[in-house]
Amino acid sequence: MTEGTSTRAVHAGEARRKPYGAITTPIAQTSTYTFENTAAVLAFVERKAERTSIRETGGDLPMRDEYGRYSNPTQTAAEGKLAALEGAEGAVLFATGMSAITTTMLALLSAGDHAIVVRDSYRRTREFAASFLPRYGVETTLVSIGDLDALAGAIQPNTRLIFCETPTNPYLRIMDLTAVAEMATLRAGAHGHAGAREIITMVDSTFATPINMHPLELGIDLAVHSATKYLGGHNDLLAGVVMGRHSLITAIQEARGLLGGIGGPNDAYLLIRGLKTLPLRVEYQNESAMRIAQFLETHPKVARVYYPGLPSHPDYEIAQRQMTGFGGVVSFEVAGDKAGTSRFVDGLQIPYIGPTLGGVESIVQQQALFISVNEEERRAAGISDSLVRYAVGIEDTGDLIADLDQALEAV
């Protein structure tokens, strides 16, 4: 039977009959798992060896749990649900989104490899790629998101990974993922030879969610999310996830067990809870953000609005082609100076001021203040003092618009 997105969000990854007859997957609050006897240990070891052999040919076998750094039943259920929503063969859950990104890069890259990272990606991702990876002999080239020619020119014979983010923060730029996937395949073939390594493509799809965009269907190899944001949806957990095909996921899973970035069962439980309402929340946030963006674009005290669902956005056509919704974040520049923008933010009565997004509560920030107190550093980052990022929650849209209108009067 074909299942819709909401049905998968509620049921995928979870056993139909759960312990004690519970309707929710329980929290397996344990660090280790015991064996009934020596025969059970031997059977586990044999299955583990058999599973490794099958994985090498692209298959998989279920395994019981051994130790909490490797897996947990609650976490496994969350991974199954996430994979089903993204249309992936497998998912690996991490303690944070950054742990998901850094562990994946360390798992896939070796000394002598070259990586390409889109400059508009999250600043900590850029910092890891440009400053940390070179310590281990991995070279990184940064390219601009809208320049496919520069991306093509940056590919070298030893390029192993292309990493991008879409939509980006804070200007919500959209990368043409189909073009990236095709370019990676073609250039790998041009540089390749018998037994050459592929160029792996990876996208941070946190702002899009699996509801608005499916990178794997567009030819991307790996999708990564900060599950702290929309996937959890309630601002009460930290988690990250990487999803893709078995051959890549297996290597990443093994690296997680070695590096230790696994999340706890409590966060996995909260994530399962959040995922069940993900389609409903994101669809409402899409609609609300679009109405807010349209309102702001016509307001005399707003200089410019950045939202990929608006024809005025530079990547509108790409967004129309590869997204089914445009997300719950709206960025805009207030018509005024730094002080006036601060008055506007302080005048808002509904959203909280903070650095996150994707939850049920609306969150707002004057972006420059979260970048640096140094004006030159803010200018170098391309962030104006009047830029505001508004992450729409699930409050009534009319209330949010009325609140924005009254706060703009203070500018």
Q: Residue 278 corresponds to which tokens in the numbers above?
A: 């993900």
Sheet holding 329-334, edge to edge: 302-306, 329-334, 387-391, 363-366, 352-353
Q: Residue 372 corresponds to which tokens in the numbers above?
A: 């640096």
Instruction: Kindly report the backbone phi and psi dihedral angles of residue 379, in degrees, each rounded to the nearest multiple of 5, phi listed first.
Output: -65, -40
Residues paired with residue 93 on neighbouring β-strands, in sequence order: 241
Burial 345-374 (b: 16+ CB within 10 A, else e): beebebbeeeeebbbebbbbbbbbbebeee
How many Cβ atoms from other residues are within 10 Å of residue 217's Cβ?
Answer: 12
150-151-153-159 Cα dihedral, nearest 10 degrees: 150
E strands in 192-309:
200-204, 222-226, 240-244, 302-306
Distance of CA 139 to the CA centre of its chain: 23
How many Cβ atoms from other residues are within 10 Å of residue 88's Cβ?
Answer: 24
Write the Ramachandran bin of 198: left for phi over 0, alpha for psi from -120 to 50, otherwise beta.
beta
The number of residues in the chain equals 411
SS3 178: helix
9: DSSP letter: H
Residues recognised as catalytic: 69, 122, 204, 229
381: DSSP letter: T
Q: Are 209 and 278 contacting, i.e. CB atoms less than 8 angstroms apart?
A: yes
Crossing angle between the packed helical segments 338-347 and 397-408, to the nearest 10 degrees: 140
Q: Residue 402 corresponds to which tokens in the numbers above?
A: 């009325």
Distance of CA 373 to the CA centre of its chain: 28
Residue type, 344: F
Closest CA to 246 of 70, 378, 58: 58
